[in-house]
Amino acid sequence: MVNMLFSSYNFHESWAKDIVSKYINSNDKVLIIPFSFGENICSDNDWQNAYSKNNGRYYESIVIPFLNYGIKEENINWINYFKDTKENAKFKIKNANIIFFTGGLPDKMMLRLKEFNLIDDIENFTGVIIGSSAGAMIQISEYHITPDEDYKIFTYNTGLNLIKDFDIEVHYEETEIQNKYINKVLEEKREKVYTITNTGGMIIDNKKVTLLGNIQTFSKQ
């Protein structure tokens, strides 16, 4: 398995493209798992308005990076939380080379993956797993949430058991609150925290870490 962690849906830009393109082939099948949505999506109709090809407001921003790597639109599949069955979702994972986790609410995403009984399927996936923002955070076995407009308090949370050696801070802007909680994580949990800006990312390929774009490493003092 290869893991890619980003803050935004822009990993086709020049700061990432040369290295990411080694891992994405134009004939790959991509599976988008948009399980990170909030209270504003509560029916299939809402889901279609967010993610469908015809009128989904997030559709284009999510597929654009993959189209840029030469992947055909018909090879981009989605799990629809409101319509897919557990069996159907498992089948889609089995048939994918690349899984993509969207941004949004990481704790909600983990709850829905558990509800669909997909944790084992994902942890045993042998392809490439890419995530932006919340979709990057849940790849960390124990990730933290820094307080922001969605979350009032700092928390540690259980993610997928994929990356155990470090933690990440997404959308890093060197704010006082971000730095405060990065230091907390270093004191309490991890030797290393990578700060991923909106034009930064990282690839973990069998423990080998490659940093892309604007990203910094904070280590335990």
**Nearby residues of 24 by Cβ (< 8 Å), 6 or more positions away:** 66, 69, 71, 98, 128
Number of domains in the chain: 1
- The domain spanning residue 89 has which CATH number? 3.40.50.880
Which residues of the chain fall short of a pLDDT of 50?
Answer: none
Secondary structure (3-state) at 4: strand
pLDDT in tens, 75-109: 999 999 999 999 999 999 999 999 999 999 999 99
Look at residue 221 in the predicted model and tell me its pLDDT: 81
Q: Is the pTM of this model over 0.95?
A: yes
pLDDT in tens, 46-76: 999 999 999 999 999 999 999 999 999 999 9
Secondary structure of 157-221 as H, E, C letters: EECCCCECCCEEEECCCCCHHHHHHHHHHHHHCCCEEEEEEEEEEEEEECCEEEEEEEEEEEECC
Residue 41 in contact with residue 111, Cβ under 8 Å? Answer: no
Secondary structure (3-state) at 11: coil
CB burial of 93-120 (b: ≥16 within 10 Å; e: otherwise) equals: beebbbbbbbbbbbbbbbebbeebebee
What is the C-alpha to C-alpha distance for residues 184 and 154, in angstroms, rounded to an integer?
A: 10
What is the C-alpha to C-alpha distance for residues 42 and 17, in angstroms, rounded to an integer?
A: 35
What is the C-alpha to C-alpha distance for residues 197 and 180, in angstroms, rounded to an integer?
A: 17
Look at residue 207 in the predicted model and tell me its pLDDT: 87
Residue 34 in contact with residue 62, Cβ under 8 Å? Answer: yes
Residue numbers of the domain that contains 43: 2-219
